[in-house]
Amino acid sequence: MEKKNLDWANLGFNYMTTDYRYVSNYKDGKWDDGAIVTDSTVTLNECAGVFQYSQSCFEGLKAYTTEDGHIVCFRPDLNASRMKDSCERLEMPVFPEDRFVEAVEQVVKANAAWVPPFGSGATLYIRPYMIATNAVIGVKPADEYQFRILVTPVGPYFKGGAKPITIRVSDFDRAAPHGTGHIKAGLNYAMSLHAIVDAHAKGFDENMYLDPATRTYVEETGGANFIFITKDGKFVTPKSDSILPSITRRSLMVVAEKYLNMPVEHRQVKFSEVKDFEECGLCGTAAVISPIGKIVDHGEEICIPSGMEEMGPYTRKLYDTLTGIQMGEIEGPEGWVHTIM
Ligand code: PLP
Ligand code: COI
């Protein structure tokens, strides 16, 4: 299989139309067989549930080329199970978890020429999603849905790759207490768009959201969880019912404890503690690990001791070990690396 002729090393985190996508439709209480198709457009009734009441949810994972030329992805079973949780909370039908993983395999295989080569710094981003497709005008769940998976080759989420970023404490919330912050609903991202546009306009890379009820605990950003390292080398990551359970974060907790012998604390993190951490980063599929150099709280700067030039040494080890496992250079725990071909 010949790879596409792309400038792999200089891709940003952007959408590019690839050759194939996976589509399955839900009607009369059941999912059809699903298929790989070439048409990248979706035509829907003007009153489709997704347009009126935002019934949509999605997932994100990546496929990698390993050094020995295999194509793999990372813990797709956890994306399948998180999508199940999203669907249940949004009154959408669950796409069976085993079929979700098979569909990921099919669409990546079909687009193998788009999977960036080993060592290029790029990966194939896989975006499974579900939308309500039939007309609804009264506020209620739709009866018909479409599950799709698109793939697109991507580079780093933040320009500058591993350079530390500057974030600000947001005055807007991305999620409500007892709301939908813990699932991957499209509406959560709509909620965050004004805050991110405003943050960018003011020169910040991202927003740090605090807990919406008391504004005293750290939650997450619009698209990634936080990790912190204490001065004595502990790995600390916020716990809350309104943040998305990041698969990267859950994996890093294991990497820290089992591979790097770091004590791990998954607990509520007070914003007032942040100034005492030695290193700080964002983690997620798109972000991988992005180091944070500075956090600005209404004009008051918290400068993270690891600085604005590069990742701190613990973050670097976490990054190298995680990406080493994902790319097949380091043996991962059983079931983490899922070989597609
Ligand atoms: N938090 C939010 C709000 C996200 O959108 C994402 C991205 O998926 C994450 C965290 C990171 O989750 P994961 O590591 O599963 O990609
Ligand atoms: C991901 O990391 O996969 C996400 O969905 C985050 C998104 C904001 C790009």
**Ligand 1 touching residue 103 (CB < 6 A):** no
Atom of ligand 2 nearest to the CA of 248: 2
**Which pLDDT value is given to residue 320?**
95
Spatial distance between the Cα atoms of 149 and 57, rounded to a whole number of angstroms: 12
**Ligand 1 touching residue 244 (CB < 6 A):** yes
Q: Which residues pair with 58 in a beta bridge?
A: 129
**Which pLDDT value is given to residue 162?**
81
**Nearest ligand by distance to the CA of 247:** 1
Structure tokens at 277: 């951490």
Choice from 129, 183, 192, 285 to test ligand 2 binding pocket (greatest atom count within 8 A of CB): 285
**Which pLDDT value is given to residue 268?**
98
Cα–Cα nearest to 167, from 246, 226, 242: 226
**Ligand 2 touching residue 123 (CB < 6 A):** no
Ligand 2: distance of its center to the CA of 285 in Å? 6
**Ligand 2 touching residue 150 (CB < 6 A):** no
Ligand 2: distance of its center to the CA of 287 in Å? 7
Indicate the helix (H) or strand (E) that contains 30. Answer: strand 30-31
Residue with the smallest CA separation from ligand 2 atom 6 is 223
Q: How many CB atoms lie within 10 A of CB 298?
A: 7
Residues with active-site annotation:
184
Q: How many CB atoms lie within 10 A of CB 301?
A: 11
Choice from 58, 82, 157, 246 to test ligand 2 binding pocket (greatest atom count within 8 A of CB): 157
Total count of residues recorded for the chain = 341
**Which pLDDT value is given to residue 298?**
94
pLDDT means per 10 residues, the chain with 341 residues, are: 91 96 98 98 98 97 94 98 98 98 98 95 96 97 98 87 91 95 97 96 96 96 97 97 97 98 98 97 94 96 91 96 94 96 95
Q: Which residues pair with 20 in a beta bridge?
A: none
